[in-house]
Amino acid sequence: MSSPSEVTENSEAGVVKTRLAGYDLLLHPALNKGTAFSEAERDTFALHGLLPPHVGALDEQLERRMKAFDLQTTSFGRYSFMRELQDTNETLFYALVTRNVEKFLPIVYTPTVGEGCQRFSEIWRKPRGLFLSYPNKHRIDQILADPRYDKVRCIVVSDGERILGLGDQGAGGMGIPIGKMALYTALAGIPPQHCLPVLLDVGTDNEDRLRDPIYIGWRSKRVRGQEYDDFVEAFVSAVKRRWPHILLQWEDFAGTNAARLLARYRDQLCTFNDDIQGTAAVTTATILGAVTATGVPLKEQNIGILGFGTAGIGIANLLLAALKEEGLSDAEAHRHFYAVDRYGLLVEGGKDIRPDQAPYVRKKSDLKGWILSNSDEISLADVARNAKLTVLIGVSGQAGVFTEEIVREMTRHADRPVIFPLSNPTSRSEGIPADLLKWSDGKALIGTGSPFPAAEINGKTVHFAQTNNSYIFPGLALGILTSKAKRVSDAMIMASAKALAAQSPTHRDKNADLLPPLADSRKVSLLVAEAVGKQAIAEGLSGFSDEKAFEKELHSYVWEPFYRTYERLDD
C-alpha cells in the first residue's frame, strides 16, 4: 500500500503516476509488473539490469505462475505460494484468481486458509494489514495515522479467537482478514488499495501457539472482560476518527463476543458480521434455491439447526424473516424451527439457555406425544424422527454428526430432504456429502461449507453446492461502498440473500445445482451489490437518492486486474 504522495492514478486513462523507481518500485506489490514493464518504463524508472531483458505480458506471466503453482504438492504449499505472489505482484495475483476462481478459491479461502492460520507464523514474510496488539493500545491512533492508509474505505477485523472450526489461533488469525479482503477484490472488484486487513492481537489461550518458538503474536494469555472491551472500544473509536465513512466487517470472533459487538456498534458506523449475517444470507439463499427444487414452499418445511450459536441464530433469524414474508405470523414462523445445541433440543427449563436463544426454545407442551430415546436430553435423531424434519442445517463444528439414521429418517418424511453440513474446514463438516446422498437414495439436496468432489449415484453425477459466504460478502461490501451507505440494515442483508437466490439454476431446472458456478462470482457479486445498494436507497440509508446515479457509481467503481501504463510523478 503506497502513500498517496507517492502514487496517483487516472483509472479512465489507465495511467499510474509514481515517484518510486528501481528496487523500490519492484518491491512494491501494488505497483510491481515484473517483466511486463515496457522498455520506455524501464528507461523512466531505472529498471534496466534489475529485470531480465525480455518484455513480457500479463498472459505470459499467468501461464508461468500457473505452472509453478501446479508443481506444489500440498494444499499448504499452494496457500504459501499464493500468499507470496500476493505480496510480490498484486495485479498478477488477482488476475490469476479472477480468471480461475474455482481452482484458487479453496486455496486462498476455505478450506486451506484454516491450515494457513494454524501455520501462519511459518510463512509470515512481509507486512500486509495491521497487527494491533494489546501492548500497543495507546498507539492505535498513531499507527492508523500513516498517510499510506488515506485511501482505505473498508476493513476486515478479527481477534483470531474462533477461526473457522479450529478455535483460537491468536495472531495467526490474520490469515482470515487477508483472505476475506483478497475476495473483496477478486470476486467483487473492490480496489485493493481501499482494503485493510486488521488483527486485534489480545493474546491467545492456544497452548500450542504460546509454546511455539516462532509464533509471531503477543505471547500472553487472551485478555478478557472489561480490558478486552476497552481495547475494542479504543480500536473502533480510532477507526471512526480516522475514517468517518468506513465499512467495518467483523470476522471470526468467538460467539460470546460476536453478537454483542455487532449489537453495540451497528448503529455507530457502517458495519456487519459475516459469521452472523453473511452466513445467514448465503444459507437462506441456498435454502430458497433448494426449496424451489423440492416444489414444497418454505412455510411447509420443518427446519432443524444443529449448533445454535451466533451463526445458527443468524440463519434462523433470516429464515424466520423469509417465512414471515410468506404470510406467517411471528409465532407461526417460530414453530417451524427446532434448535439443537450442546445439550440437545432447546426446551424450556433446559441447561445454559442464553437470552439470544430464548425465542427458539420449545415449550414442553410442543413435545407432547414424542417418543424419546433419552428423557434428559432430546437428541438430533429424536428431533428428526418426531418433528419430521425436512431441512437440516449444521453449524456445530462436529464432524460426522449427520448420521445414516438421521438421513434415512428425513428421507421418510420428505421426497427431497434438504441437508446442509456447513461447518468449516472440511475436517469439521457434519457429514460427507457422498454419504448423505447414498443414505437418502440420491434424493437429498446438499449444501456444504467447504468444497467437496462430485459423487456418482444411480448413474448420475451429482455436484454439491458450496454454500460459501464468498457468494455474499464481496457483493454486500461492494453495494455498501458504492451506495455510500451509512448503516447496514437487516433488509439490506435480506436483499443480498434474495439476489443470490434469484440466480439459483433451480428456477430453470429442478435437478440443477442449487447455486450458480463459482466462475460467475463477479457477475453474482455485481447483482448482489445492486440489490443491496437499491435497498439502502429505499431505506434512506444511502448517499444517493437516485438509483441511476448509484448504478453509474457501481459500474465505474469496479477494479480490474490489468497492468496500467506508468509515468513519472513530478516533485
379-430 tens-digit pLDDT: 999 999 999 999 999 999 999 999 999 999 999 999 999 999 999 888 899 9
Same domain (yes/no): 260, 299: no
Domain containing 528: what range? 471-557
Q: Which residues are CB-neighbours of 225 under 8 A, at least 6 positions away?
A: none
134 tagged catalytic: no
Residues 475, 349: one domain? no
209 labelled as ligand-binding?
no
Is 27 part of a structural domain of the chain? no
Instruction: Examine the fold and report which residue of 468, 486, 510 is the final residue of a domain before the chain moves on.
Output: 468
444459507: which residue's cell? 283
pLDDT above 90 (res 1): no
Alpha-carbon distance of 357 to 309, in angstroms, equals: 8
12-26, 33-47, 60-74, 165-179: which range is least confident on average?
A: 12-26
Residues 510 and 365 in one domain: no
In a shared domain, residues 444 and 461: yes
CATH code of 382's domain: 3.40.50.720
25 part of a folded domain: no
14 part of a folded domain: no
How is residue 218 written as a grid cell?
503477543
Whether the per-residue pLDDT at 272 is higher than 80: the answer is yes
From 387, 390, 381, select the one nearest 411 (Cα to Cα): 390
Strands 15-18 and 7-10: antiparallel
Choosing from 151, 180, 498, 534, the catalytic residue is 180
Whether residue 413 is found in the same domain as residue 538: no
Per-residue pLDDT reduced to its tens digit, 60-104: 999 999 999 999 999 999 999 999 999 999 999 999 999 999 999
Residue 41 marked in a binding site: no
Full DSSP string of 398-419: -TT-S-HHHHHHHHHH-SS-EE
Whole-number percent of the chain with pLDDT over 90: 91
CA distance 6 to 29: 14
The tens digit of pLDDT for each residue in 449-483 reads 988 999 999 889 999 999 999 999 999 999 999 99
Domain co-membership, 214 together with 299: no
Query: Is 275 annotated among the ligand-binding residues?
Result: yes
Report whether pLDDT(327) > 90: yes
> What mean pLDDT is predicted for residues 257-278?
95
Q: Supply the angle between the helices 490-501 and 310-325 in degrees, to the nearest 10.
A: 80
From the candidates 79, 94, 109, 265, which is the catalytic residue?
A: 109
252 is in an annotated binding site: yes
pLDDT at 10 over 80: no
- Together in a domain, 103 and 163: yes
E-assigned strand segments in 282-404:
303-306, 337-341, 344-345, 391-394
Question: Is 330 known as a binding-site position?
Answer: no
109 flagged as catalytic = yes
Same domain, 70 and 141: yes
The answer on 97 and 237 residing in a single domain is yes
User: Looking at the domain assignment, is residue 398 inside a domain?
Assistant: yes
State yes or no: 257 annotated in a binding site: no
Number of domains in the chain: 3
